[in-house]
């Protein structure tokens, strides 16, 4: 004991425990100055381009094609040719080989993809490295496994591919959303034209290199970049048999209107305003971690984010105190720093939307808390935010903010929690925190949400179907259910 005391006396104890910066090197990824479209296995020179930037500092990264209707038509024609020219009739076991190759290549090149995802999208590197990339590879592995077992998955229904799938994805999980869409489509024998989001095209373009390495036959996957007008051209393309869309409810409704009566298949994965419900018998510290993960993960740019927190009245004060204390330890900053918890907001437009909704919350009478944090001067940033004193009618409790903003509401009984949680036009996900299994089951049966997490939040797995009720869309992605939208059945 005496020895220890003596040693302690000699050591200089640092007074400042701030994390030293730990930036991931971006040298691993080579970004070209200019990208075209990946059509029929070749790079097609675009007629127009726009600049894609890094949201952390607005640094221009590359010139990227702005797809016109004619360019979309070329991509669809290439997909049709590849479909007719062998891909649709290839045995499932052969298709599986390509999917397994893609999965393994994604694993091999995961660091490169993670750096690029964080650079172009703004999400913390620890998330792209530990969540986006492993899950993207897992989706390809999982659907590779189904490719030669479709007859067993759907016995006596004679599953056949649908044809050419047009896929439109958002900017919050660029590579992961690509994997969610491309893997089941290919496993079922379809070919694909994919349009990445305008602000985050780079990992999809890097993925084209993986397709070449995997020696996927030309035209099976085609990628056309551009803005909403490119997406609209894909939706309107006559030779597309199915549209899979993930994005805002507004655009989803527009697409549904356009496709009405065409006979094309459609799946929509749209917005959400998830309820995260905390009962007084839960493990409080664990719940606080789950709440933080539920809303500040990926800066809250998550369709299933737990953006409405319902707390049982008896634990309201201790929970809010713990939550605010935890918020003050979140590190906001450079997405490429391995210590960063909350990265950059994806775009100027999204930042503006968050700011507008947060201002409406203050104006309507909610109480705002933001931990002290120094935000970088350049780029797009928003501090983690908690609103208390929120009424159900406030816009911050009704509308999808898609940012690091949490609204806290209270309840007394399970019935009241349920009533309030279901009081939303959306129905994508929900969370329940309690030690009672029976209560979890009671709540899960009654919550109108596609996914209900119990004592956890934002957990994803390729084997588990994901999708919404009401204005959160229809159709399921992931799991066995995720195959059906890409198949026709002789019944
Ligand atoms: P959008 O719905 O506009 O974007 C999703 C995808 O659709 C993008 O690739 C987009 O292209 C494309 N697109 C846009 N307009 C059309 C169209 N008319 N026809 C076909 N495709 C189209 O979402 P935003 O990026 O504008 O985000 C707005 C809000 O939507 C967010 O604040 C958030 O609330 C919600 N959102 C929800 C998501 C979810 O996962 N549920 C994901 C993204 C956003 P482009 O990128 O060029 O606009």
pTM here is 0.95
Calculate mean pLDDT across residues 27-49: 97
Cβ(236) – ligand 1 distance below 6 Å: no
User: Which of 188, 208, 303, 304 is an active site residue?
Assistant: 303
Nearest to 147 by CA among 104, 94, 105, 220: 94
pLDDT of residue 16 exceeding 80, the answer is no
For residues 338 and 240, give the distance between their C-alpha atoms in angstroms, rounded to a whole number. Answer: 42
pLDDT of residue 11 exceeding 80, the answer is no
Cβ(251) – ligand 1 distance below 6 Å: yes
pLDDT tens column, 162-198: 999 999 999 999 999 999 999 999 999 999 999 999 9
pLDDT tens column, 214-226: 999 999 999 999 9
- Say how many C-beta atoms besides its own lie within 10 A of residue 478's C-beta: 22
306 CB-near residues (< 8 Å, 6+ apart): 274, 275, 276, 290, 291, 294, 295, 406, 429, 431, 457, 458
For residues 310 and 275, give the distance between their C-alpha atoms in angstroms, rounded to a whole number. Answer: 7
Which atom of ligand 1 is the closest one to the Cα of 252? 2
Confidence of residue 7 (pLDDT cuts 50, 70, 90): low
pLDDT tens column, 247-282: 999 999 999 999 999 999 999 999 999 999 999 999
Which run of H or of E encompasses 385?
strand 385-388
Across the chain, mean pLDDT equals: 96
Do residues 279 and 290 lie in contact, with contact meaning Cβ atoms separated by under 8 Å? Answer: no
Confidence of residue 14 (pLDDT cuts 50, 70, 90): confident
User: Which of 112, 117, 127, 269 is an active site residue?
Assistant: 269
Q: What percent of the chain has pLDDT over 70?
A: 98
Cβ(80) – ligand 1 distance below 6 Å: no
pLDDT tens column, 105-122: 999 999 999 999 999 999
Q: From edge to edge, which strands make up the β-sheet containing 59-65?
A: 34-35, 59-65, 49-54
């Amino acid at each position: 004991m005496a020895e220890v005391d003596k040693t302690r006396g000699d050591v200089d104890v640092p007074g400042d425990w701030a994390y030293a910066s730990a930036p991931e090197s971006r040298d691993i990824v080579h970004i070209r100055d200019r990208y075209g479209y990946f059509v029929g296995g070749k790079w097609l020179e675009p007629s127009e381009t726009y600049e894609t930037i890094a949201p952390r500092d607005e640094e221009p990264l590359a010139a990227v094609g702005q797809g016109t209707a004619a360019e979309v038509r070329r991509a669809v024609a290439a997909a049709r040719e590849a479909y007719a020219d062998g891909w649709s009739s290839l045995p499932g076991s052969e298709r599986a080989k390509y999917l397994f190759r893609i999965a393994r290549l994604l694993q091999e090149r995961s660091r490169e993809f993670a750096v690029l995802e964080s650079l172009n999208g703004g999400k913390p590197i620890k998330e792209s490295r530990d969540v986006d990339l492993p899950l993207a590879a897992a989706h390809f592995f999982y659907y590779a496994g189904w490719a030669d077992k479709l007859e067993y998955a759907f016995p006596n229904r004679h599953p056949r591919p649908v044809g050419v799938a047009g896929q439109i994805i958002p900017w919050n999980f660029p590579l992961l959303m690509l994997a969610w869409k491309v893997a089941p489509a290919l496993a079922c024998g379809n070919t694909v034209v994919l349009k990445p989001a305008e602000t985050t095209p780079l990992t999809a373009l890097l993925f084209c290199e993986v397709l070449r390495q995997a020696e996927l036959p030309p035209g099976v996957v085609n990628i056309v970049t551009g803005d909403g007008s490119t997406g609209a051209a894909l939706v309107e393309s006559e030779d597309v048999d199915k549209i899979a869309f993930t994005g805002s409810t507004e655009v989803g409704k527009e697409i549904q209107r356009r496709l009405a009566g065409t006979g094309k298949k459609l799946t929509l994965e749209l917005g959400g305003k998830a309820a995260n419900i905390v009962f007084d018998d839960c493990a409080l510290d664990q719940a606080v971690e789950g709440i933080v993960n539920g809303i500040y993960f990926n800066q809250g740019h998550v369709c299933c984010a737990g953006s409405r927190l319902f707390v049982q009245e008896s634990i309201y004060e201790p929970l809010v105190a713990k939550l605010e204390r935890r918020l003050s330890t979140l590190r906001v900053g450079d997405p490429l720093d391995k210590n960063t918890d909350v990265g950059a907001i994806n775009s100027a437009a999204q930042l503006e939307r968050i700011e507008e909704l947060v201002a409406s919350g203050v104006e309507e009478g909610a109480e705002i808390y933001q931990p002290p944090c120094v935000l970088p001067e350049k780029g797009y940033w928003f501090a983690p935010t908690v609103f208390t004193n929120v009424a159900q009618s406030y816009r911050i409790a009704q509308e999808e903010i898609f940012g690091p903003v949490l609204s806290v509401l209270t309840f007394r009984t399970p019935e009241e929690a349920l009533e309030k949680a279901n009081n939303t036009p959306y129905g994508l996900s929900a969370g329940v925190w309690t030690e009672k299994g029976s209560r979890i089951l009671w709540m899960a049966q009654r919550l109108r949400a596609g996914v209900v997490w119990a004592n956890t939040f934002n957990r994803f797995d390729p084997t588990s179907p994901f999708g919404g009720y009401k204005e959160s869309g229809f159709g399921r992605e992931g799991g066995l259910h995720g195959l059906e939208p890409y198949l026709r059945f002789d019944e």
